[in-house]
A = this chain, B = another copy of it.
């Protein structure tokens, strides 16, 4: 970090110089530590670290020895610190398979809710055992910690779906920030980030509801919040002990997460229903999207055995450049499992969707796109080829789907600053100012009953009750006294 007075600044850093050059600290080159989550989550972080690299920062990624996608096959020079773990890639694969099957077998409805959450709890236990190995692999490795300390990182960027990044940052004495798509029922955002979520119009994550709810749906939504909170807070119990042990004082996972300087949320108002948020939340959905490159002739991605009855006009590919395909002028529709990355590529290019959601946020994502008129959903458990064909015909032939997809595209492209640039701006802001404390709501300093003003309301009720009691007593006393006097007078 360099404080600038009379330095010639390369043109590429001009975006930092907002209005008055002489008094702003500029990051010429900083050190960024990344705490990623595997799978599709990595694609987002990868874009950020490539951009950070472009802007002359040194980036180091902490990754376990058993990752699926996280690797150094990047275009840009990134340091990797590998954390040895005893589990294998196959364990992660089977965890994800279990997760998918949980949703396919018990997709949460009012009837399956209990089974769903019981099974989810079991999965979270497995996840805990895997995650704790990563934490221990860093925090109990004095050599690695010393090496990290020596690197003098300016900021740690964590995907909090893999827990512990915040803890590593605290141990290194550096500020940290999050990149997050969602937590179930926004438990993390609400309880740890202090974002308000009125149950009357903010649908709980995993509920598949929209911001327009009937009475019954609002009832379901209102109950979803405490139910999911309960599940996650019981899951957090083990983490609370772990965090207290590592930090050497009684604390909780949530309290620690609340210290994040900035929350980069991987959605935007093209996708999200408008809802309250806080100044340290930045919505950077679609930051991985790019203009399409020219395309070879491709039609399908498929891993596995080629079905015997496949038509002559269909070809199978193990991998296709999805973004380029969606950006092709002839792309009429997108059949998608509804991951956030894919949905954002469809929004970016204005392509209507047929959603076949499988797990996690996918059913919610498709519910959002349906509500915005840009998608039709097909149920993976019950669908026939005729259902899929009808859905495809609908989104292709009914012009409203294309119009709505194009409207979302226009919203997405018409922002004051591109999502990736905003994400990197706030990372660099935290580096320049060693945090972003001016964006931190005072709600973090309150207990839950203070936050909801329950002590104040209790006091006011007690005052009112005392007043009613005193007035009643006085009235009774007066009645009795004047009653007696009256009777006396009558007698006289």
Contacts of A438 in B (CB 8 A): 269-270, 274, 411
A414 at the interface (CB under 8 A from B): yes
A409 at the interface (CB under 8 A from B): yes
Which residues of A2-55 are within 8 A (CB) of B? 16, 18-20, 23-25
Contact of A453 among B199, B277, B409, B414 (CB under 8 A): B199
A280 at the interface (CB under 8 A from B): yes
A414 with B432: CB separation less than 8 A: yes
State A279–B450 Cα separation when bound (angstroms): 27
Contacts of A283 in B (CB 8 A): 279
State A61–B103 Cα separation when bound (angstroms): 58
The segment from A70-78, A92-100, A316-324, A421-429 found at the interface with B is A421-429
User: Smallest Cβ distance from A16 to chain B, in angstroms?
Assistant: 8
Which residues of A401-446 are within 8 A (CB) of B? 406, 409-411, 413-418, 421-422, 425, 429, 432-433, 438-443, 445-446
Assess A269 versus B276: contact at CB under 8 Å? Given A19-B418, A218-B453, A418-B19.
no
Contacts of A23 in B (CB 8 A): 350, 406, 409-410, 413
Contacts of A16 in B (CB 8 A): 414
* Count of this chain's copies in the oligomeric assembly: 2
Assess A196 versus B276: contact at CB under 8 Å? Given A23-B350, A442-B201, A459-B219.
yes
A374 at the interface (CB under 8 A from B): no
State A276–B190 Cα separation when bound (angstroms): 12
Contacts of A20 in B (CB 8 A): 291, 413
A451 at the interface (CB under 8 A from B): yes
Assess A415 versus B196: contact at CB under 8 Å? Given A277-B279, A450-B218.
no
A275 at the interface (CB under 8 A from B): yes
A89 at the interface (CB under 8 A from B): no
Contact of A441 among B218, B275, B455 (CB under 8 A): B275
State A364–B291 Cα separation when bound (angstroms): 48
State A270–B433 Cα separation when bound (angstroms): 13
A195 at the interface (CB under 8 A from B): yes
Contact of A414 among B24, B199, B200, B413 (CB under 8 A): B24
